[in-house]
Structure 1
Amino acid sequence: MDFTECYADTVSSAAAAARSGCRRQVRRLIESGCSLDARDNRGWNALHEAAAAGSKGCVQCGDYVNSLTHEGESACYLAAQRGHLSVVRLLLKAHANINQLTNDLSCPLYAVDNGHQDVVKLLVSRGAEVDRTHTASCWTCLHQAVYKQGHSDIVHILVNVCNLEAHDDHKISPLFVAAQYGQRECLQILINAGACVNTQAADLATPLLIASQEGHQACVDLLLDHGADPNMACSHEWPQLPVHAAAEFGHLILRRLIDVTNRTCDRSGGMVSPLYVAIHSHQTGSIQLLLEEGYSPDAQDCTLRELVCVALSHVSFASCWLPVLLRAGLDPSLLLHPHLETADSDVLNSLLQFVNWSTLSPALKLILERRRAEKTWDPCTDFSVPRLSHICRLKIREVLGPDLLMRTNVVQQLPVPSLLHDFLKFRDI
């Protein structure tokens, strides 16, 4: 390294001439004895400057073709990252190391990151290591190409030479990355090339689960159309399915997943209903849809009680989901006893609308009277003697039972006028 020349603009005279593309000036400096390996504070010499600027005429390789900057960047790397195809070709002819890694484990082929298709094609044709892992996350160039928006042309090149099932440090494949980031076109290319749609990451998450979680409708549809299994367990901790992810985040894809998901997740022991996940996540739209599709609010009692406790602690939300559950047939007694003391006034009024408040136990009536006196409960004006019609409604629903109410349209099948159907469904509340 030559540190004899002093210069103000961080770069040597030769490097400045190479950066600007002044070939004649570079030649004159060389003839006058100027060193081509004088480095700036980044460790760049004249060759690095010429390669990064795309100044093919100033690329003087010599013994410095594989010299590295302080970041471990070669001239080939700098040219490839900027898409300077002719410079990369010239450097390779001069025996540049095509697989030289930088300090952060990148390489010339990571030109995929910037979408330089012609450079990628050249590097692949010259034998670049396509399945080498890079960066701290151990991604291959195919992972990176899939991740970047609009790089489907590069993915087309790489699927023919790369390992489609290459895993990063979390066992995530390129197809998983496409599903996670909503890259539908890349996902289609990978599927057509034979990539596994049911691959699982280290935590058992599948591409269908991650696409459902992120709300990528087109990717979910594509995966299901090509054999993705919606009933594959996607977690070590509990039997999570894609339908749970969609319910948790309130995505519109929930309807498609309901149609293809085995309903054992609703009632089987050891399972968790998607409805409970929706309640826990405050997703009113998911709750409404799941109830309409027959998911039971009291299918797994212990889980329901826990999640109802969580939901009731969010007063503003409870007023949204509570009527939906109660109209669907949830037994109000599950909620009255544990929450009568602490429920918000509006929430408490909603609960009482679904019972015969005149027949409450003396203990519950005492709590109500105390809360009225303390002004922590403002009762509805009609909380006195229940109407006969309301008592009849409660009796009919009791005879039908919560299972029929929650799982069928039994009310609509009753031989009574449609107005009474609405009344039996508490549409007046």
Structure 2
Amino acid sequence: MNANIDNESPLFLASDNGHTEVVKLLLDRNVDPNICNKDNESPLFVASSEGHTEVVKLLLNHNCGPSVCKKQKIIIQDNVSLLLAASQRGHTEIVKLLLNHDVDPNMCNTENESPLFVASSKGYIEIVKLLLDHSVDPYLCNNDNESPLQAALHRSHTEIVCLLYNYESVYIRHHDVA
């Protein structure tokens, strides 16, 4: 299938723009969903980061693995994972889909910000809850040594602060026993 100068295929462009019916048509014609553009972004990555939930479902159901591009890791530029991109933009349903496909909830970007860190700092409590339900490490700090709890505290996300504080207390007790 043809691509433009940036190696963006019709499937990539349809995924990026949320054209669900076009994506379905292309996938039904066996277009490879794992071809990345020149920036190593896959159709799944752009659909995840743009919040196109139905497109993400279609791609995942057509063997578009969350592990494509950048030598079979789930990263693109600056080490941003699919999960981090969806968490950073508040796409709760996409975060849920990706977690159900066993993506690593602790993969950080080049600034050592985890999906939990960005969701906590942005105030996305539902995403924070989802991540905590998937064995995320609450102590991963960014390059400035700021934890998700501190990020939520500094940005006055009180409900997230309480949630993380309670989770960390349980996390400490569980790991001290083990």
**Same fold per TM (> 0.5)?**
yes
2:133 to 249, 259, 280: 259
> Is 1:200 aligned to residue 71 of structure 2?
no
TM superposition shift of 1:280: 3.5
Q: Secondary structure at the match of 2:133?
A: helix
Give the Cα–Cα distance (whole angstroms) in 2 for the partners of residues 155 and 273 of structure 1. 39
Deviation sequence 1:249-302 (CA, Å, 0-9, x none) = 111211110121343x5178x87521122234342332122112126xxxxxxx
> d(CA) in 2 for partners of 1:267 and 1:132?
39
Which one-letter code corresponds to 1:243 in the other structure?
Answer: L
Question: Separation in 1 of the partners of 2:48 and 2:33?
Answer: 14
| Aligned pairs for 1:110-125 within 5 A | none
Partner of 1:132: 3
Structure 2 length as normaliser, TM-score? Answer: 0.78
Structure possessing the higher radius of gyration over alpha carbons: 1
Asked if 1:245 corresponds to 2:125, the answer is no
Residue equivalent to 2:159: 285
- Further displaced range: 165-174 or 205-214: 165-174
The aligned counterpart of 1:145 is: 14
Contact 2:121/2:151 (8 A) holds in 1: yes
Deviation at 1:157, TM superposition (A): 2.1
Aligned length: 163
Counterpart Cα distance in 1 of 2:140 and 2:51: 32
**Unmatched 5+ residue regions in structure 2?**
68-73, 174-178
C-alpha distance 174-284 of structure 1, shift in aligned 2 (>3 A): same
1:226 equivalent in alignment to 2:101: yes
Secondary structure of the residue that 1:253 maps to in structure 2? Answer: helix
Matching residue's letter, 1:286:
I
2:86 pairs, out of 211, 221, 233, with: 211
Q: Which amino acid aligns with 2:4?
A: T
For 1:294, what is the secondary structure of its paired residue?
helix
**TM-score, normalized by length of structure 1?**
0.35
CA offset at residue 236 of structure 1? 2.0
User: For the structure 1 residues 195 and 286, does the alpha-carbon distance in structure 2 shift closer, same or farther, using more than 3 Å as the test?
Assistant: same
Aligned-partner SS, 2:79: coil
Using the alignment, how far apart are the partners of 1:131 and 1:286 within structure 2? 46
For the residues of structure 1 that align with 2:34 and 2:79, how far apart are their CA atoms?
Answer: 15
Q: 1:189 aligns with which of 58, 68, 86?
A: 58
3-state SS of paired residue (2:132)? helix
Residue segments in structure 1 that go unaligned for 5+ positions in a row: 1-129, 296-403, 409-429
* 1:172 to 1:282, Cα distance in 2 relative to 1, 3 A: farther
Report if aligned partners of 2:35, 2:43 keep a CA contact under 8 Å in 1: yes
Q: Percent identical across equivalent pairs? A: 29
Task: Note the C-alpha offset of 1:138.
Answer: 4.5
Distance, in Å, in 2 between the alignment partners of 1:194 and 1:291 is 38
Higher RCO (C-alpha 8 Å, min separation 6): 2
